[in-house]
Amino acid sequence: MTTDAIGFIGLGRMGLPMARNLGAKGYRVHVFDLDAGVRARAAALPGLAALGAPKEVAAATDVLLTALPDDDIVTETYLGRQGILAGARSGLVTCDCSTVSPEVSQRISAAARHKGVTHLDTPMLGSSPQAESGEVFFMVGGDREALPRVEPVLAAIGRLTMHVGPSGMGNRIKLLHNALGAVNAVAVAESLTLAATLGVDLRTYIDVVKNGGGMAFSTYFDRRALRVVEGDYTPTFTLDLMQKDVTLAARMAAGLLERLPILRETLAAYTEGKAGGFGGEDFSAVTQVVEQRLGARVGAGRA
C-alpha cells in the first residue's frame, strides 16, 4: 500500500471540504463520521469511501487525519475500543488537526508509540473558507522525521506547514493564537459599541481604522467589523468553539491566570455569550454580550 491511501475522520465544517479536496487531487480517502448522513454524502464524492469505525479507517490507511471538536471526542476516537489505535498498523502516521489540550496530544502520542504509530498534533489556522479553498495553515508538533510522510498530504489541502516543536507544542501555540484572536474580538466589540453610544458613524469609524495606517487595524477588524455593524453573525468559526479554546488557554495558564486580567475578561465574555444563546453564531457574536452590558446596539451608529 502506498501513502496515497489517506484516512480522514471528522467531516464537519472543516473536515468535509478538506477530505473532498484530497479526493479531488487523486488521493484515495477512507472517511468516517459519527453522523451516518454525513458519511453517505461524503461517500458520493470523488475519491472518498466511507467506513464504519475509526479503527477500520486506521487499518486501511498509511496517513490519517482527524478534525474533531474537543478533548473527549479526540481521546475516544484515538483510544476507544473502536478507535484508531485499535486498528492501526505499525508505520501509520496520524495528524490530529483538532484544537485540544496539549496534554491530550501528548497522551495519544505516547500510546501511539507503543503500537509503532507516529502521532502529530497538527492544529490549523483558518476557518471554513480556507478549508474550502485549500489554504489552511498547519502547525505541527511531534516527531520532525515524520514530516516527509505527511507534508504532501497537508500541502494538498493547505498553504503552509510549519514544524513548531515536540508533541503538544502545536496545540500550545494554537491556543495562544486563538486566545489572542478572542481578545481582539472583545476589544473590537467594546470599541464599536462605545462608538455607537457616542453617536459616531460606524462606517466612517471603520474606514478610519482600515485606511488610516494606525495600529488599531487587524485581520479580525478587516474581516469582521463591517459584518458586525450589519448584524451578520453567520458562522465560519462558532462562538462555542472559541469559548472552548479560550477555556483551554486559561487552563494552560494555570496559576498565572490570576495575573492575566485581559485573558480572564475575554473568557468571561465568551462564557457569557455561550450562556446567552449565541454559541452557534460566529465568534464575533461576542459583540452582543458587550451590547447587552452597555445597553446599546452597534447598529445605532450606522449611516
User: Same domain for 141 and 33?
Assistant: yes
User: Same domain for 159 and 37?
Assistant: yes
Kindly report, residue by residue over 216-253, the tens digit of the pLDDT. Answer: 999 999 999 999 999 999 999 999 999 999 999 999 99
Domain end point (choices 144, 166, 188): 166
User: Same domain for 219 and 199?
Assistant: yes
Contacts of 127 (CB under 8 A, 6+ apart): 13, 14, 236, 237
User: Same domain for 151 and 212?
Assistant: no
Note the pLDDT of residue 4.
67
Contacts of 137 (CB under 8 A, 6+ apart): 124, 125, 126, 130, 158, 159, 160, 161, 162
Note the pLDDT of residue 302.
38
Note the pLDDT of residue 267.
98
Across the range 98-126, mean pLDDT stands at 97
Give the helix ranges, DSSP H, for 158-238: 169-197, 202-211, 219-229
Domain end point (choices 147, 166, 185): 166
Domain end point (choices 111, 144, 166): 166
Number of domains in the chain: 2
User: Same domain for 68 and 142?
Assistant: yes
Q: What is the DSSP string of 27-94?
A: -EEEEE-S-HHHHHHHHTSTTEEE-SSHHHHHHH-SEEEE--SSHHHHHHHHHSTTSHHHHPPTT-EE
Note the pLDDT of residue 292.
96
Confidence category of residue 188, pLDDT binned at 50, 70, 90? very high
User: Same domain for 289 and 162?
Assistant: no
Cα(105)–Cα(107) distance, rounded to whole angstroms?
A: 6
Kindly report, residue by residue over 37-93, the tens digit of the pLDDT. Answer: 999 999 999 999 999 999 999 999 999 999 999 999 999 999 999 999 999 999 999
**CATH of residue 224:** 1.10.1040.10
Q: Is the pLDDT reported for residue 2 higher than 90?
A: no
User: Same domain for 122 and 138?
Assistant: yes
| Cα-trace Rg, the chain | 21
Note the pLDDT of residue 50.
98
Contacts of 242 (CB under 8 A, 6+ apart): 178, 181, 182, 185, 270, 283, 286
Cα(241)–Cα(249) distance, rounded to whole angstroms?
A: 12
174 is an active site residue: yes
- Cβ atoms of 297 and 195 closer than 8 Å: no
Three-state DSSP at 119 gives: strand
User: Same domain for 192 and 273?
Assistant: yes
User: Same domain for 98 and 233?
Assistant: no
**CATH of residue 107:** 3.40.50.720
CA 20 to chain centre: 18
Active-site residue, from 25, 55, 115, 174: 174
Average pLDDT, the chain: 95
User: Same domain for 161 and 176?
Assistant: no
Confidence category of residue 1, pLDDT binned at 50, 70, 90? very low
97 closest CA partner among 55, 139, 135, 57: 139
Q: Is the pLDDT reported for residue 288 higher than 80?
A: yes
**Nine-digit cell at 19?**
477530505
Q: Is the pLDDT reported for residue 163 higher than 70?
A: yes
Cα angle: 236, vertex 279, 95; to 5 degrees? 55
| Count of helices and strands (H, E) across the chain | 14, 9
User: Same domain for 189 and 75?
Assistant: no
User: What residues make up the domain containing 199?
Assistant: 172-301
User: Same domain for 13 and 160?
Assistant: yes
Kindly report, residue by residue over 50-60, the tens digit of the pLDDT. Answer: 999 999 999 99
